[in-house]
Structure 1
């Protein structure tokens, strides 16, 4: 899944970016409010992590503009502003969660997973279509009685498919969800990942729709 990190403190941004990548997220980073708005309009993100004290545009204004534009992307505020008034203001403005710095990355990741589950209409910590079960917290997958831990890229691909069972995702759709701005993408990268997953768990786990892309079945 691709995440936009909006943070003007370079050291904090680097630490969060590294932790997110270790947790299998693709990450784009910007350091000011205007760049954040441009990024959200130009790219579809699974989630935005938004600091409040930003150059050019304050985080509250960025959030308000995102919601006024009816962009449904979940937004988690990450800030050192711990006043009750700020927390109320952020949540009322449309933030899905409000996390106060300093925080442990484990807590931030858990809050991100909870927000993504709520926005997907489920409180279940497991992504599933009925036949495939994916556990984001551990990157484990179960299919037809086999359970294993996926690599970072494999997990990102399966997560993208399982968030929308039955939907066909093209190569470009999957690349946009798996890779960040600064990551080089080889022409056959998606096919290689799918081949790797099928080799481990069987050809039926991911279905090819000729000329369109790939999907996982929407089980009843």
Structure 2
């Protein structure tokens, strides 16, 4: 089992993590109480400040110097190409996350309440519609709140992972000596595209290529 507080491996029967001393909630416990406790707060509080990428340095003069500089940058950033992929994957994952819909939960809660209530109605002394609406409201409210807490927790966790990855990438970018490309153009395949354009005469300089934005 993994401790939800510090991420260390612990025994499956352990309830207090020996590494951080916090209560080691297992997944089902987190899901059970997630509509009551704000489990996203620990991720929000751990959010580091954003690292700002440095301004690009001056582009070298001359086509040969630019190509040589691009080859140097490609070699440097290729060592960290997996980090570019992580940032890209986290960005694409963010688009697939949607907040729970109260309308859908209302519909689902109504169907669940109707199925449950109609199943038990023959055994009830009186068919009182008020009971159905109370049950409907309870199922919808608890389900929606639980889904909302789960969404907030996962979103906060995702935002934290993304910020850490982006900060690490910016730190690597800032540590690159004489980097004359903007950070968004330091992905190795993009650098290779610029080199190809300069060598084939498609562009006469790095500035011209970047101005096109292709």
Pick the TM interval, shorter chain: under 0.3
Find the structure with the greater CA-based Rg. Answer: 2
TM-score where L is the length of structure 1: 0.22
Bigger RCO of structures 1 and 2 (CA < 8 A, at least 6 apart): 2
Q: Which has the higher helix share?
A: 2
Q: Which is strand-richer, 1 or 2?
A: 1
Q: TM-score when scaled to structure 2?
A: 0.23
